[in-house]
């Protein structure tokens, strides 16, 4: 019985490809995102390298415009995760 088992933010595995935390379910990632109060544009997106892994990061600017395809979106998400996410 570990209290950490009920804490979604404790259930993550390091993604060496993105150099970023990866959550095992989209729900966990969303729960973690909720903790970032006041953080606009935080997005949950699937890891482009590892099946079944989800990352939380800043939503790429182009997403709101809907003018980019999903492949480019993933690329930008990885760039954002690698470059702007420091914690």
Query: Interface residues with Zn ion (CB under 5 A)?
Result: 15, 17-18, 47
Residues in the chain: 87
Tell the smallest beta-carbon distance from residue 1 to Zn ion (Å): 30
Q: Which is nearer to Zn ion, 8 or 54 (CB)?
A: 54
Q: What is the rounded distance in angstroms from the CA atom of residue 46 to the CA atom of residue 30? A: 12
- Beta carbon of residue 23, minimum distance to Zn ion (angstroms, whole number): 10
- What single-letter DSSP state applies at residue 51? T
Min dist CB 39 to Zn ion, Å, is 20
Q: How many CB atoms lie within 10 A of CB 79?
A: 13
């Amino acid at each position: 019985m570990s209290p950490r088992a009920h804490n979604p933010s404790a259930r993550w595995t390091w993604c060496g490809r993105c150099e970023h935390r990866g959550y095992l379910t989209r729900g966990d990632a969303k729960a973690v995102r909720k903790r970032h109060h006041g953080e606009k544009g935080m997005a949950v997106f699937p890891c482009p390298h590892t099946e079944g892994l989800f990352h939380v990061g800043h939503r790429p600017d182009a997403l709101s415009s809907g003018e980019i395809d999903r492949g480019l979106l993933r690329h930008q998400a990885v760039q954002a995760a690698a470059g702007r996410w420091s914690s």
